[in-house]
Amino acid sequence: MDATGDVPEGGVTVIVGPSGSGKSTLLRCCNRLEVPDRGTVRFRGSDVTTLDPLTLRRRVGMVFQRPTPFAGTVRDNLQIAEPALTDHAAVLALERVGLAPPFLDRDARELSGGEAQRICLARTLVTRPEVVLMDEVTSSVDPAARLALEGLASGLAAVDVPVVWVTHDLDQMRRVADHVLVVIGGRVVHAGPPGRLGSDAPDEAQQFLTGEAA
Which pLDDT tens digit goes with each residue over 178-189? 999 999 888 888
> Which of the four pLDDT bands, split at 50, 70 and 90, describes residue 2?
low
Give the span between the Cα atoms of 191 and 214, in whole angstroms.
Answer: 20
- Mean pLDDT rounded to a whole number for the chain: 91
pLDDT, tens digit (0-9, with 9 covering 90-100), for 116-173:
999 999 999 999 999 999 999 999 899 999 999 999 999 999 988 999 999 999 999 9
Give the span between the Cα atoms of 78 and 70, in whole angstroms.
Answer: 10
> Which of the four pLDDT bands, split at 50, 70 and 90, describes residue 198?
low
pLDDT at 5 over 80: no
pLDDT at 212 over 60: no
pLDDT at 98 over 60: yes
Report residue 60: phi and psi, to 5°.
Answer: -120, 85
pLDDT (mean) for 78-94: 97
> Which of the four pLDDT bands, split at 50, 70 and 90, describes residue 9?
confident
* pLDDT the model gives residue 108: 97
Check the CA dihedral 22-162-191-212 and report its sign.
positive
pLDDT (mean) for 83-105: 96
Give the span between the Cα atoms of 31 and 138, in whole angstroms.
Answer: 21
Alpha-carbon separation of residue 157 from 42, 53, 154, 170, 179 (angstroms): 20, 24, 5, 20, 12
* pLDDT the model gives residue 214: 43
pLDDT at 202 over 90: no
Q: What percent of the chain has pLDDT above 70?
A: 95
